[in-house]
């Protein structure tokens, strides 16, 4: 079996194993932006360095 045969076989397998389409919605959560702390540690670190 030469490389081209292997390629052909591989494409066959890839086609056979390709994912079926059955979409499901997955909305992004609303915990981002205004609710998230900007950086909980940086002010603490800056305060420590300043000391």
Partner 1 sequence: MVTLRRVFSLLLALITAGIASYLAFGYFLSDGLQWLDLARVVLLAISVAWLAWGGMLALNGLFNSRREIEWQEAPEPPTARTAVLVPVYNEDPAKTFSHVAAMAQSLSRAGAGTQFDFVILSDTTDSRIAVAEEFWLGRLKEEIGDTCRLFYRRRNTNPGKKAGNIADFIRTSGALYDYLIMLDADSLMEGATMIEMVRRMEVDPELGLLQTLPKVTRARSFFGRAIQFSASYYSPVYASGVAELQGREGPFWGHNAITRTRAFAQSCGLPTLPGRPPFGGHILSHDFVEAALLARNGWKVRIDPDLRGSYEEGPDNIIDYAKRDRRWCQGNLQHGRIIAAPGLKLWSRFTFAQGIMAYIAAPLWALFLVASIAAPAIKVHPDYFPVPGLPVFPRVEHANALALLTGVFGLLIGPKILIVIDGALSGRNRRFGGTIRCLLDMFVEIACTSILAPIMMLFQSRAVCQVMTGADAGWPAANREAGRVTLSEAWAASWWIVVVGLVTVGAAYRFAPDYLFWVMLVAGPQIAAPLLISASSLTGSKFGQLKLFATPEELTPTPVMQAQQAILTRWRSGAEMQPVHTVLEVPKLREPSKIRAKR
> Considering the complex, what minimum distance in angstroms separates the CB of residue 8 from partner 1?
10
Among positions 1-51, residues that touch partner 1 (CB under 8 A) are 3, 6-7, 9-11, 13-29, 31-33, 35-42, 45
Q: Which is nearer to partner 1, 35 or 50 (CB)?
A: 35
Q: Taking CA 42 as the corner, what is the angle to CA 29 and CA 48, rounded to the nearest 5 degrees? A: 155
Tell me the HSE value of 11 on the side-chain side, using a 13 A CA sphere: 5
If you count them, how many residues does the chain have? 51
Residues that bind partner 1 (CB under 8 A): 3, 6-7, 9-11, 13-29, 31-33, 35-42, 45
């Amino acid at each position: 079996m030469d490389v081209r045969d292997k390629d052909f076989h591989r494409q066959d397998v890839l086609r056979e194993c390709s994912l079926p389409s059955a979409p499901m919605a997955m909305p992004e959560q609303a915990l981002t932006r205004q609710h998230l702390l900007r950086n909980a540690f940086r002010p603490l670190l800056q305060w420590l360095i300043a000391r």
